[in-house]
Structure 1
Amino acid sequence: MRRRLLALVCVSASLLSGCGLISDSAAERRTVTVWLMQHSASQDFLDRFTEEFESEHDGIDLDIRIQEWTGIGEKVQQALRGRDADGPDVIEVGNTQVSAYAEGDGLLDLTLESMRDWGRDDWLPGLAEPGRWGSQQYGIPWYAANRVVVYRKDLFRGAGVTAPPETRDEWLEITEQLDTDRTQGIYLAGQDWYTLAGFIWEEGGELATERDGVWRGALDSPAALRGMDFYRRLQELGDGPADADEEHPPQAGVFAEGRVAQIVAVPGLVPAIVKQNPELADLIGYFPVPGKKAGRPGAVFTGGSDLVVPANTDAEDAAVEVVAALTGARWNTELARTMNYVPNKAGLAESVAGEEGLEAMAAGAARGRATPATPRWSVVEADNPIKEYMTKVLTGADPAEEAGRAARRVTDTLAFD
């Protein structure tokens, strides 16, 4: 790793009397400005990290500045385009945002550091893969979160279900048992496209594919159609609206009403459920989204954050040291425990053992994926043809025909210059 921090050594006993080293006060100091997003880490965690990091890295001071998600994209782009005295040296970015920042050569290539020192082969794929642009690694995985099945233990017992399902077929069977006149087997909104993405990936399909630098929609592949068919079969075992996503209405409120056996959500949604219905506090359980085969959770969309270093930093090596520390086992494990996240490596999953929701989430994260690694994907999401496609299929339209139409819209959007 390149080192630019000034090291002062003994030059000559005749020039430096007594001890051969100049005092620390004479050494060059660097301030590393770190942009982290609001609510990503507690203030207590940041205080402890700063104190320990600065004590272990003579000559480096940390200036951690908390940013809001609203408007952060343009703010980061401005920081990457021009360097000023207050510019960031390390930035937390959403895992799916890395390609947008790397495209214009705005980020430092961290491939060599990640391959040599940072355990790259054990990173969660849903964080590591979108952190790459071309063959280079620009985003270093920090933390993850993904959907699991949140369920009512008492309703499962009442239906004679003694254990969570291990396969998708079992999941369908159990959900059908739970779907009664009084209870929805599952509440699954018709436009929950992140959940659909996991089903498509589990079948071996993709949302979009790239060849020779050209991206094309892939919702009309046989595998993707199988994923949509599974979604349809599961969704009809409840009363989720066909023309809305999971936030309209918020599914936490629907589950809190007490007539839903399951939802697909991040465990972090559960406090909102319990706040609305405290009687459910001891009745909620979790299991990973089941896969096609027993013993292997299903593929899921992984959200979370990567850390990047702007190419225009004037404290490159010190910034790299900060990234190494935050994403290393010591502080990554501490962050996961403090904030109820999944750590950035599969091998660190044991650090959240004992927390049922986190254990389910960590198990699923091992097969996590991210959206297509093209800067144009955010444009696709802004006018999301996948949602419209899902609604049409769920209301009786021909799946192959609608998938072809949606795939063409995705292709056109990704190709727009």
Structure 2
Amino acid sequence: MRFPKIALASAVVMLAAACGGGSEDGGSGGAPDSLTVWVMGTAQDELVNYFDDAESRFQDLYPDTSVNVEFIPWGDAQESITNAIAGGDAPDVLEVGNDQVSSWASQGALLDIGEYVDEWAPSKDMDQEALEYGTYNGVQYGVPWFSGVRTLYYRSDWLEELGHDAPETWDELLEVSQAIEEEYGVPGFAAPTDFTNGIASFIWGNGGEIAVQDGEEWTGRLTDPATVEAVEFYADLTAEHEISPQSYVGENELVPLADMANSQVGMYIDGGWALGSMEEQAEDPEVLENIASAPIPGADGIAPVFAGGSALTVFGLTEHPEQAFDLLGVLGDQEGGKAYADVAGFFPAYPELLEADEYQNDPERAAAATSMQNTRFFPSTPRWNAADLDNKILPGAVLDIVRGGDPEEVLEAANEQLTDILNEPVE
């Protein structure tokens, strides 16, 4: 999942005098005069400085090769990459959403970088599940650059007054939610139904799965008992327990975000990027001082979370694959990956780095840093977007159950649809 924290307008940053996007050979050892990187988002001072430093590091390897950086708004990415495939202006190194690697790989936009990655030492220290998410049909096309995760936001002052810690289990979630409503007269927890990322954590937090791959075939697991129990529990937060209001039925996490900022709900799930929106929407800014975060509760302990973010790839039509991967390596190794994650407001793809005090002892980042060490990913296939974004299979099932549908019947139909869509031929 992409998080367009820096996406509003496009710009081109020429970090050195040379132009041409890597089309001419020169420099040292047949290296090109320049290479081009496409980054999703907009040019900001901190990001420009990052790429300036990255170019200096890259020129330790290739002294005569400049690095040109083009910022592409997320909304323009589809058209820009499609045009590049057709022979238009193209990059050498390309950032894509980590959930888009398989889609662009299937369209021929990305280069097989498996041999390079195998010999690239930093890959051994990366989150291996995140690295695996950069594959398609067993071929490595991307490496994780940075990630962000969702956490449980809660009113720390309310929980302190009630004598509760942030909930870590489903039972505690129910208990704390009910106590909030009884004491403060607002819903204790928000469970919007159009929220695949949140629902998935409940499934994974109960030992369930959404779908698994065996060879080239995908099999939906929405009818597995652990998955059924988790989906039913999430739906019952609204339908049975009534700790989440009907006003969130059919909605995504943006609605409870505004309520959280204005003391109209006690807890809800969202990512660190939500804090900026809360600042914009809070009628009383002092409320934000009492909003804290914790890992998402699972059935018997904190739940795994989806790590959305970006991957670094080499464009399939680059004329300089070796040098392009070396540039990718500078951007994505521990030094480059951490530096970019820090300026962009996310987390690096190296679990060891997340144990540092700067993450674990920062009250605004500690919960997310902890969750980043327990991540999961959606099916690595171009058909996942069709299942989730186009057909809303999982949110639709939760919606039907909230409205009174039998959980087993609803999920049996949803599972059949999910399996069919995931196994449709990729065009």
Q: Shift of residue 221 of structure 1?
A: 1.8
CA–CA separation in structure 2 for the residues paired with 1:225 and 1:279: 41
- Return 5+ residue gaps in structure 2 as ranges: 1-24
Q: Give the corresponding residue for 2:265.
A: 260
Matched, 1:347 2:352: yes
Alpha-carbon contact 1:242-1:395 (below 8 Å) kept: no
Distance 1:126 1:250, change over 3 A: farther
Matched, 1:378 2:378: no
Q: Give the corresponding residue for 1:358.
A: 365
Q: Shift of residue 272 of structure 1?
A: 1.6
Matched, 1:308 2:313: yes
RMSD across aligned positions (CA)? 2.5
Q: Give the corresponding residue for 1:175.
A: 177
Matched, 1:209 2:217: no
1:325-353 per-residue CA deviation (whole Å, 9 max, x = no partner) reads 11111122222222221111111112534
Q: Shift of residue 401 of structure 1?
A: 0.3
CA–CA separation in structure 1 for the residues paired with 2:148 and 2:158: 26
Q: Give the corresponding residue for 2:98.
A: 95
Q: Which residue of 112, 122, 132 corresponds with 2:125?
A: 122
Matched, 1:284 2:291: yes
Q: Give the corresponding residue for 2:243.
A: 237
Q: Give the corresponding residue for 1:144.
A: 147
CA–CA separation in structure 2 for the residues paired with 1:7 and 1:341: 35
CA–CA separation in structure 2 for the residues paired with 1:223 and 1:39: 42
Q: Shift of residue 129 of structure 1?
A: 2.7
CA–CA separation in structure 2 for the residues paired with 1:327 and 1:33: 15
Q: Which residue of 402, 405, 425 corresponds with 1:394?
A: 402
The one-letter code matched in structure 2 to 1:275 is E
Q: Alignment partner of 2:378: what SS? A: coil
CA–CA separation in structure 2 for the residues paired with 1:241 and 1:179: 16
CA–CA separation in structure 2 for the residues paired with 1:401 and 1:370: 26
CA–CA separation in structure 2 for the residues paired with 1:223 and 1:121: 32
Matched, 1:165 2:167: yes
CA–CA separation in structure 2 for the residues paired with 1:56 and 1:345: 23
Q: Shift of residue 413 of structure 1?
A: 2.4
Matched, 1:410 2:418: yes
The one-letter code matched in structure 1 to 2:404 is G
Alpha-carbon contact 2:152-2:270 (below 8 Å) kept: yes
The one-letter code matched in structure 2 to 1:158 is E
Distance 1:148 1:190, change over 3 A: same
Q: Which residue of 192, 200, 209 corresponds with 1:189?
A: 192
CA–CA separation in structure 2 for the residues paired with 1:190 and 1:102: 31
Q: Give the corresponding residue for 2:376.
A: 369
Q: Alignment partner of 2:243: what SS? A: coil
Give me the TM-score of the superposition, normalised by structure 2. Answer: 0.84
Alpha-carbon contact 2:31-2:323 (below 8 Å) kept: no
Q: Alignment partner of 2:289: what SS? A: coil
Distance 1:168 1:125, change over 3 A: farther
Matched, 1:199 2:205: no
Q: Shift of residue 116 of structure 1?
A: 3.0
Alpha-carbon contact 1:187-1:240 (below 8 Å) kept: no
Q: Give the corresponding residue for 1:64.
A: 69
Q: Shift of residue 187 of structure 1?
A: 1.7
Alpha-carbon contact 1:131-1:139 (below 8 Å) kept: yes
CA–CA separation in structure 2 for the residues paired with 1:5 and 1:321: 16
- Return 5+ residue gaps in structure 1 as ranges: 9-26
Q: Shift of residue 251 of structure 1?
A: 2.5
Alpha-carbon contact 2:205-2:299 (below 8 Å) kept: yes
Q: Which residue of 311, 320, 324 corresponds with 1:319?
A: 324
Q: Shift of residue 320 of structure 1?
A: 0.8
Alpha-carbon contact 1:146-1:302 (below 8 Å) kept: yes
Alpha-carbon contact 2:248-2:255 (below 8 Å) kept: no
CA–CA separation in structure 1 for the residues paired with 2:417 and 2:57: 51
Q: Which residue of 331, 339, 348 corresponds with 1:334?
A: 339
Alpha-carbon contact 2:57-2:330 (below 8 Å) kept: no
Matched, 1:38 2:45: no
Q: Which residue of 250, 257, 270 corresponds with 2:255?
A: 250
Q: Shift of residue 416 of structure 1?
A: 3.4
Alpha-carbon contact 1:128-1:141 (below 8 Å) kept: yes
CA–CA separation in structure 2 for the residues paired with 1:59 and 1:6: 4
Alpha-carbon contact 1:60-1:318 (below 8 Å) kept: no
Q: Give the corresponding residue for 1:226.
A: 229
The one-letter code matched in structure 2 to 1:244 is G
Alpha-carbon contact 1:220-1:403 (below 8 Å) kept: yes
Q: Shift of residue 142 of structure 1?
A: 0.2
The one-letter code matched in structure 2 to 1:411 is T
How many residues align structurally? 390
CA–CA separation in structure 2 for the residues paired with 1:138 and 1:156: 45
CA–CA separation in structure 2 for the residues paired with 1:369 and 1:332: 20
Give me the TM-score of the superposition, normalised by structure 1. Answer: 0.86
